[in-house]
Structure 1
Amino acid sequence: MDGKRNTILFKLFGSSISYMRRCLFSVLSVGPVPNHLAFILDGNRRYAKKWNLGEGMGYRAGFLSLMSLIKYCYELGVKYVSIYAFSIDNFRRRPEEVQCVMDLMLEKIEGLLKEESLVNQYGVRVYFIGNLKLLHEPVRLAAERAMKATSNNNNSILLICVAYTSTDEIVHAAQESCEDKWATTQSSANIKDSQDGEEKDTDDVIKLSDIESHMYMRVAPDPDILVRTSGETRLSNFLLWQTSNCLLYSPKALWPEIGLRHLVWGVLNFQRAHPYLERGRKQP
């Protein structure tokens, strides 16, 4: 009897919390709501050390925080959420730690494919962003399955940056742009002008639009807010190209400690700075 009563009370408490959160988001929605939030998940290892947790438990705690925060973002009306899950530089860490992260990543990616997963509940399309060939093969194949399985979802977008650095993205975009421009130039080299017999003038200059069309992040607009936890203000080679005009927010909480209050405060700061950010975007 007590167990049944506790279950009822737990459900009522959960419903009350959900209702209050919806009310809070309704108030926030009176002002501008960010279209794209990006997160650097900093502090998982420090959290594990702080609480004397075992190997990899900080990352697991961080994953629970991530799922809650993604849900809050989509309830608020944020269309795009990007997360810096694993840098190319992180492959330099101890092999056991890298393997632990890869195993956890594989487990959680496979969880995304389940019908009751958050991505299916909210109609989220998932992109894995980065140099995916650097991932362990089982993880890469699972990422490809998840992208294919969610390709018809269009309510929201989740971009998971793995095996990613911004410098690698820029080099990749420049190389792809040069290769495309070279192929176009070669195919046009023998085309003669119909009037004077001269070779047609081809545009062989790399433009800004060429670079941006080959970015890994071309599937999303530039972020409105970049959040890095642990109080750190470094970008750590994340979205350097895309964050020239966005709000930077650095709460002191370690990533597994981040919660609803941090999201609300970040959005309030964005709304306060919104007129200035909009003026920056309108400049040529």
Structure 2
Amino acid sequence: MDGKRNTILFKLFGSSVSFMRRCLFSVLSVGPVPNHLAFILDGNRRYAKKWNLGEGMGYRAGFLSLMSLMKYCYELGVKYVSIYAFSIDNFRRRPEEVQYVMDLMLEKIEGMLKEESLVNQYGVRVYFIGNLKLLHEPVRLAAEKAMKATSNNNNSILLICVAYTSTDEIVHAAAQSCEDKWAAIQSSVNIKDSQDGEEKDTNDVIKLSDIESHMYMRVAPDPDILVRTSGETRLSNFLLWQTSNSLLYSPKALWPEIGLRHLVWAVLNFQRAHPYLEKRRKQP
């Protein structure tokens, strides 16, 4: 009897919290709602050390925070969510830690494909962003399977940056642009040397649009807000190309400690700065 009563009370409490959250989001929606939020998931290991948890448990706690935050973002109406899950530089960590993260990543990717997952509940399309060939093969194959399985979802977009750094992305885009341009030049039979006084042929010039068309993040607009937890203000080689006009927010909370209040505060700061950010984006 007590167990049944506790279950009913728990459901009522959950419904009340959900209702209050929807009311809060309705108020926030009066102002501009960010279209794209990006997160640097910093502090998982420090969280585990802080609470004397077993090695790797900080990452699991961080995953639970990620699921909650994604749910809040989609309820608020945020279309794109990007997360910095694993940097190329992280491969330099101890092999045991890297293997643990890869195993956890594989477990959670496979969980995404289950019918009751958050991804399917909210109709989320998943992209894995980065140099995916650096991933362990089972993880890479699972990532490719998840992208294919969610390709018809269009309500929201989740971009998971793994084996990623911004410098690698830029080098990749520049190299691909050069290869494409060289192939176009080689295949053209009508290219002639420009003569003095005539307009120069610019077909061999690599343009900004060429670079951006080969960026890993070309599938999403630039972030409106970039959040890095743990109070750190470094970007750590994440979205350097895309965040020149983004609002930066650095709460002191470790990633597993991040919650609704941090998201609300980030959105309020964005709404306050929105006129200035829009002005900057419209400048040539």
Cα RMSD (Å): 2.4
CA distance in 2, matches of 1:79, 1:235: 22
Could you say what secondary structure the match of 1:227 adopts? Answer: strand
TM-score after normalising by structure 1 = 0.97
State whether residues 194 and 200 of structure 2, in contact with CA within 8 Å, keep that contact through their aligned partners in structure 1. Answer: no
Change in 2 beyond 3 A, CA 1:230/1:197: closer
Deviation at 1:195, TM superposition (A): 16
The 8 Å contact of residues 194 and 201 in structure 2, kept in 1 or not, is answered as no
SS of alignment partner, residue 240 of structure 1: coil
Matched position secondary structure for 1:82: strand
C-alpha distance in 2 between matches for 1:279 and 1:198? 38
SS of the equivalent of 1:84 reads strand
| Shift in alpha-carbon separation, 1:48–1:193, aligned structure 2, 3 A | closer
Gaps of 5+ in 1: none
Deviations 1:41-69 (A, max 9, x none): 00000000000000110000000000000
Give the Cα–Cα distance (whole angstroms) in 2 for the partners of residues 167 and 268 of structure 1.
Answer: 31
Report the Cα offset of residue 189 of structure 1.
3.4
Alignment gaps of 5+ in structure 2: none
**TM-score, normalised with respect to structure 2:** 0.97
* C-alpha distance 233-203 of structure 1, shift in aligned 2 (>3 A): same
Deviation at 1:202, TM superposition (A): 5.7
Taking the aligned partners of 2:282 and 2:196, their CA distance within structure 1 comes to 43
Q: Deviations over 1:224-283 (max 9, x none)?
A: 000000000000000000000010000000000000000000000000000000000010
Aligned position for 2:45: 45
Question: Bigger shift: 151-160 or 181-190?
Answer: 181-190
Q: What is the DSSP-based 3-state SS (H/G/I as helix, E as strand, rest coil) of the residue aligned with 1:39? A: strand
Return structure 1 stretches of 4+ with deviation > 6 angstroms: 191-200
Are residues 200 and 189 of structure 1, via their aligned partners in 2, closer, same or farther at CA, if it must alter by over 3 Å? Answer: farther
Tell me, in whole angstroms, the C-alpha distance in 2 between the residues paired with 1:179 and 1:245: 30
Q: Deviations over 1:111-133 (max 9, x none)?
A: 00000000000000000000000
- Matched residues, percent identical? 94
Q: Tell me how far 1:198 sits from its aligned partner.
A: 13
- Distance in 2, Cα, partners of 1:275 & 1:199: 41
Identify if the C-alpha distance between structure 1 residues 198 and 117 changes in structure 2 by more than 3 Å, giving closer, same or farther: same
CA distance in 2, matches of 1:192, 1:206: 18
- Name the CA distance, whole Å, in 1 between partners of 2:254 and 2:193: 64
- Could you say what secondary structure the match of 2:82 adopts? strand
Tell me the number of residue pairs that the alignment of Structure 1 and Structure 2 aligns.
284
Pick closer, same or farther for the CA change 1:199–1:20 going to 2, 3 Å.
closer
Q: CA, structure 1 residues 48+216, in 2 after alignment: closer, same or farther (shift >3 Å)? A: same
Go from structure 1 to structure 2 and tell me whether the alpha carbon gap of 1:199 and 1:40 turns closer, same or farther (over 3 Å shift): closer
